[in-house]
Chains A and B, each alone.
Chain A
Amino acid sequence: MMKKIISIFALICMVFTLGSCGSKGVDFNSLKENMMSADDSLPSMKTVSDKSENAETLFKSLSDFDYSGIESFFLAYASDGSPYEIAAVKLKDAGDLEKLETTLNNHIGDRVRLYKNYAPEYAKKAEKAIVISKDNIAALIMSDKSDEVKKAFEKSFK
């Protein structure tokens, strides 16, 4: 009986261990490089990340998700204010992914509203931005080559 209990417990532990591997296998730096290099038409971009000084404050420019739940992030944005952004956020808890996605979609909405007021010619491009996710990572893509960047994101998990 005891053996059976131990076997079941061991099996459960193994399933959880394997299941939790997920995107922990994804190198976040490679993910960033893959996504950024997928669009060769991007203008001059500035990048901030969890390694930047004041990372928590900088993160607020992208999302109002509680920063204590963030494992790492990067945000690349056009240095001339045009509608080009590529960002990815890795969560400590994959269970919060939907909440994170909502904040990224809110960010797109804010950008569209800003462009409609101050640079209407950019608004349509910003409206085409997408949010995608896998495991505990969500990404925002505002680019002329969204499909290529999306493919690069997905490929990084294989």
Chain B
Amino acid sequence: MKKSAKIITAAFAVVLVAIMGVSLGLNVLTLSKISTLESAAEKNDPSRENGVMIVNRYEVKSTEQISDAYISGDSSGLDERDKATLDTAKKILKDIIKKGMTDYEKEVAVYEWIQKNIKHDNDILLVVQDPNADTYTPQGVLAGKTAVCVGYATTFRMFMQMLGIDCKVVHDNDLSHTWDLVKIGSGWYHTDLYFDTPKSKFAHFNLTDSMRANDYSWDESIYPRGNSFEYCYAVMNADNIKNAYQIPKKLKSMLDKKDPFFSYKMTDPTDIQKSEIRVMLDKISESVFGAQNYENYYFSYNTIQNGKDFIAYASIVYPDPEDDNSIIDEKTEEKIRKAIDKVFSNLVENNDIIFDEGEIGEAATSKAVK
């Protein structure tokens, strides 16, 4: 009896030790998983400017080491890649920044240089990207001259910081886009170079918080507020209008010149006059940009109130010439028709061709040939 009691006790002890061992193992495993999750969360903490991952791919990285080296004149602490970036950036600033420029003029100069020289990296849409492609840091952008949104925003910020102008990279709440928040005078303004490149110059330049909030939301607690109109591009460059009925003619002239941005100002309008402006823009959007002639154009508009001034602003993205057949005039069209007729003079009209819905384009082309 004593022996069997001993065996039972020993078996019980073995089972107990085994349970404790398994439990300990599981605890260690859980702790290790928690630690991994914490480190992952810390790496993509959206409550900070740098260190966040945009579209799960592009990390926003600080480049203060480069701007600090430019300001101090001491580049000894930089690695080779940063030194090369500093050298390139120095040359660019030497070319575009003139003595006596204001901060606003410096901002415009850098904006224009980037818009002219840095192209979109279209690989952003690919599911799998080239792991060696760097289009999201100033180092990669200035070397390769192509950028995704993070590349535009961090490159612009680096230049601003080199020039001693406060600038931050803002990310939206979805972690899908970035742009800049730059301090000019005493106010902060939103500038989105990615969306203004290549053809929408100044459409997203120095916007206020409320203007930017039409397109994106962001954590306002981690960025300065941008409520000043002083250097807001739409306010600074607004044309005076007496009433809403002047807008269609001005818009037509803008379209003819392929201007990408307009801003019209009416001082101290009545509520009815304000409504007339809003309805005019709504109708233009529906009837003009809904029409076949302008169907490939992208028109966006809004209004803001600055003191007594009521401002209507809009941007137009023009289609690529290669997609826009309306740029061909009648004379050229006739020339094309004659060239075809000359070779295919024996064509017999066929009225029996039936096109399904997906072939409307081909049907239209076929008619033109005839």
The residues of A with any CB-CB pair to B shorter than 8 Å are: 46, 48, 54, 57-58, 61-62, 75, 77-82, 85, 110-111, 113-119, 122
Q: Are A110 and B125 in contact (CB under 8 A)?
A: no
Cβ-closest chain A residue relative to B172: A117
Q: Does B55 contact A (CB under 8 A)?
A: yes
The residues of B with any CB-CB pair to A shorter than 8 Å are: 55-56, 122-129, 131, 149, 174, 176-177
How many whole Å from A32's CB to the nearest CB in chain B? Answer: 16
Q: B131 contacts which chain A residues (CB < 8 A)?
A: 54, 57
* New A-B contacts (15) at CB < 8 Å, excluding given A77-B127, A79-B126, A81-B124: A46-B128, A54-B131, A57-B131, A61-B127, A61-B129, A62-B127, A75-B128, A77-B126, A78-B127, A81-B125, A114-B55, A114-B125, A117-B177, A119-B125, A122-B125
Given that A110-B55, A113-B55 are known contacts, is A118 also in contact with B124, CB under 8 Å in the complex?
Answer: yes
Given that A48-B128, A57-B131, A117-B176 are known contacts, is A81 also in contact with B55, CB under 8 Å in the complex?
Answer: no
How many whole Å from A140's CB to the nearest CB in chain B? Answer: 10
Q: B55 contacts which chain A residues (CB < 8 A)?
A: 110, 113-114
How many whole Å from A46's CB to the nearest CB in chain B? Answer: 7
What are 15 pairs between A and B in contact, CB < 8 Å? A46-B128, A48-B128, A54-B131, A57-B131, A58-B128, A61-B127, A77-B128, A79-B126, A80-B125, A81-B122, A81-B124, A81-B125, A85-B127, A117-B177, A119-B125
Q: Are A114 and B126 in contact (CB under 8 A)?
A: no
How many whole Å from A85's CB to the nearest CB in chain B? Answer: 6
**Residue from B124, B127, B149, B177 having most chain A Cβ neighbours under 10 A:** B127
The distance in angstroms between the C-alpha atoms of A57 and B129, with both chains bound, is: 11
Given that A110-B55, A110-B56 are known contacts, is A115 also in contact with B127, CB under 8 Å in the complex?
Answer: no
The distance in angstroms between the C-alpha atoms of A119 and B124, with both chains bound, is: 10
CB contact between B125 and one of A48, A75, A118 (< 8 Å): that residue: A118
Q: B127 contacts which chain A residues (CB < 8 A)?
A: 61-62, 75, 77-78, 85, 111
The distance in angstroms between the C-alpha atoms of A81 and B122, with both chains bound, is: 8
How many whole Å from A150's CB to the nearest CB in chain B? Answer: 20
B interface: dominant SS: loop
Q: A75 contacts which chain B residues (CB < 8 A)?
A: 127-128
Cβ-closest chain B residue relative to A116: B176
Q: B174 contacts which chain A residues (CB < 8 A)?
A: 113
How many whole Å from A137's CB to the nearest CB in chain B? Answer: 19
Q: B126 contacts which chain A residues (CB < 8 A)?
A: 77, 79, 81
Q: A54 contacts which chain B residues (CB < 8 A)?
A: 131
How many whole Å from B173's CB to the nearest CB in chain A? Answer: 11
How many whole Å from A64's CB to the nearest CB in chain B? Answer: 8
Q: A82 contacts which chain B residues (CB < 8 A)?
A: 125
How many whole Å from A156's CB to the nearest CB in chain B? Answer: 23
Q: B128 contacts which chain A residues (CB < 8 A)?
A: 46, 48, 58, 61, 75, 77
User: 3 shortest A-B CB distances, which residue pairs?
Assistant: A81-B125, A77-B127, A61-B128
The distance in angstroms between the C-alpha atoms of A112 and B171, with both chains bound, is: 17
How many whole Å from A93's CB to the nearest CB in chain B? Answer: 16
The distance in angstroms between the C-alpha atoms of A80 and B174, with both chains bound, is: 24
Q: B123 contacts which chain A residues (CB < 8 A)?
A: 81
Q: A116 contacts which chain B residues (CB < 8 A)?
A: 176
How many whole Å from B193's CB to the nearest CB in chain A? Answer: 14
How many whole Å from B164's CB to the nearest CB in chain A? Answer: 31
Cβ-closest chain B residue relative to A82: B125
Q: A85 contacts which chain B residues (CB < 8 A)?
A: 127
Cβ-closest chain A residue relative to B177: A117
The distance in angstroms between the C-alpha atoms of A116 and B125, with both chains bound, is: 11
Q: B125 contacts which chain A residues (CB < 8 A)?
A: 80-82, 114-115, 118-119, 122
Q: A80 contacts which chain B residues (CB < 8 A)?
A: 125
Q: A113 contacts which chain B residues (CB < 8 A)?
A: 55, 174, 176
The distance in angstroms between the C-alpha atoms of A75 and B128, with both chains bound, is: 9
Q: B129 contacts which chain A residues (CB < 8 A)?
A: 61
